[in-house]
Amino acid sequence: MANRIKLVKGDITKIEVDAIVNAANSSLLGGGGVDGAIHRAGGKAILEECIAIRNKQGGCQTGEAVITTGGSLDAKYVIHTVGPVWNKVKTKLSMLLANCYQNSLQLAVEHQVKTIAFPNISTGIYRYPKNKAATVAVNTVKDFLEAHDTIEQVIFVCFDDENYEIYQALLGGDNDVL
């Protein structure tokens, strides 16, 4: 199990994997943060495919995931998922965040993806507390990998120092800094 989960600090658009996951919003039309970086690096093909999905199914609900090609990225696919916006009053936020990881991994399996990289979904503009989000992310990915052996590697890509340190503490071991 341990060697199927890797931690990297850096920019997810630079990771060489079959699929990278995007922390999108329900419009699928792009935005700031990692979403903006992926659309900038991947070119207009990704946005065009997102618009086609939107026209067909009306965007993407919180916790759900959709898949496009990787456009001009190294990754073959981008899996777009919509994390929950942190709000202390609401319940079920951790379940919605877990759904993001689970549904993204399910789509990956369906597309024969063997290596996949995740950003720290919801921990930027959506303000989900980083330590709480990391616990959900790691537990959900571990549970999924135990049940699915076609995924060879999941890479958690941390952009900011705080997330990287939290994941280091949770995962331990040697990690890469890009």
Residues 64-103 interacting with ligand AR6 (rule: CB under 6 A): 83
**Cβ proximity to ligand AR6, 12 vs 138, nearer residue:** 12
Cβ distance to ligand AR6 smaller for residue 80 or 113 = 80
How does DSSP classify residue 129? -
Name the phi and psi angles at 28, rounded to 5: 60, 15
Identity of the amino acid at 21: V
Complex with ligand AR6: residue 15 or 107, whichever CB lies closer:
15
Handedness of CA 132, 92, 50, 5 (dihedral sign): positive
Please pick, from the candidates 4, 37, 135, 153, the single residue that binds ligand AR6 as defined by CB under 6 A. Answer: 37
CA separation for the pair 121, 27 (Å, rounded): 16
Taking the complex as a whole, the smallest distance from the CB of residue 149 to ligand AR6 amounts, in Å, to 27
- Residue 35 annotated to the active site: yes
Work out whether 34 is an interface residue with ligand AR6 (CB under 6 A): yes
User: How far apart are alpha carbons 150 and 139 in whole angstroms?
Assistant: 18
For 11-37, letters b (16+ CB in 10 Å) and e give ebbbbebbbbbbbbbeebebeebbbeb
| Among positions 118, 126, 144, 156, the unique one binding ligand AR6 when judged by CB under 6 A | 126
Residues in contact with ligand AR6 by CB under 6 A are 11-13, 23-25, 31-35, 37, 83, 119-126, 157, 159-160, 163
Residues noted as catalytic: 35
